[in-house]
Amino acid sequence: MKASKIFTSIGLTALMFVLPLGGSFKLVFMPQIACFCIGSLWSLLTQPAIVWRGIKNSKEADHYTAAWIMLTITVCQMLSVLEWAHFHGRHTFHWNLSSIIGVMCIVMGGALRYWSIKILGRFFTASVMVSDSQKIITKGPYKILRHPSYTGGILTVVGTPLVLEDTYSVFLTSFLMILVYTFRIKAEEKAMIRAFGNSYRTYQQNTWKLIPTLW
C-alpha cells in the first residue's frame, strides 16, 4: 500500500470527523466519533484510491463525478459532525431507534460496498472508464442491483447523522448523496451502453439501479 494513500486516508478522515469539532477535541474520544474515524480509515484504505490524473484523462466520460462524490461525502460527514458537536445538548451515546438504524445502515452499507468492490475486482475504478477486457458482471449483488457499491456508500454516509441523532443533517445528507450518485450513474451507464450496446440495455431491464423493487 502506497504511503500517499495512507496519508490521504488519514487526512480525509480528520477533515470529516475531527476538524468539525472545532475546539472540542475531547469529543474525538467519544465512542461515536472514534468508531467513525476507524470505519472511515478502513473504507478509504480498502477501496481503490482516487487517481486525479485518471479522472482528468477520463473527464469526457466521467464529468468529474468521482471528485464530486468525494467532495459530497466529505461535506455530508462534516455537516453531520458539526450539527452533533455544536447544536446538540448531549453527546453521550445511547441506543434508541435512530442510533440502531444508523448502525445497521453503516454496517450493511459498508459490507455491501466492500462485497461489490471485491466482485468487480480490477474493473472497479474511481473514475468512469471501460477497459477492453471488461465484461458485464451479473453475479453477487449485481444480479439485483447495477450499482450496489453506490447503495452501500449512501447507506454508510446516511448512517452517520442517524447514529448522531441529527435532525437536519440526515435529510440533507440523503438528498446530496442520492443527487451526486444520480449524476454518476447517468455518466457510467452511458459509457456502458456505448461499450456493450444491447447487452447492457438487457441487463438494465432485468435489474434495479440502487434500491430493489423501487429504483
Instruction: Say how far apart CA 153 and CA 160 lie, in whole Å.
Output: 11
Please give the residue range of the domain that contains residue 135.
3-205
Q: What is the mean pLDDT of residues 67-85?
A: 92
Closest CA to 66 of 76, 53, 77: 53
Residue 98 above 80 pLDDT? yes
Instruction: Say how far apart CA 118 and CA 28 lie, in whole Å.
Output: 31
Kindly state the cell numbers that stand for 94.
445511547
Answer for the pair 128, 42: CB distance below 8 angstroms, yes or no. no
User: Does the residue 215 lie in any domain?
Assistant: no
Tell me what pLDDT residue 57 has: 53
pLDDT tens string 122-148: 766 666 666 666 788 888 999 999 999
Kindly state the cell numbers that stand for 136.
458485464
User: Does the residue 214 lie in any domain?
Assistant: no
Domain tally for the chain?
Answer: 1
Tell me what pLDDT residue 54 has: 55
Tell me what pLDDT residue 204 has: 92
User: Does the residue 210 lie in any domain?
Assistant: no
User: Does the residue 213 lie in any domain?
Assistant: no
User: Does the residue 20 lie in any domain?
Assistant: yes
User: Does the residue 152 lie in any domain?
Assistant: yes
User: Does the residue 45 lie in any domain?
Assistant: yes
| Grid-cell match 429504483, residue found | 215
Q: What CATH number did the domain enclosing 24 receive?
A: 1.20.120.1630
pLDDT tens string 145-162: 999 999 999 999 999 999
Instruction: Say how far apart CA 65 and CA 179 lie, in whole Å.
Output: 11
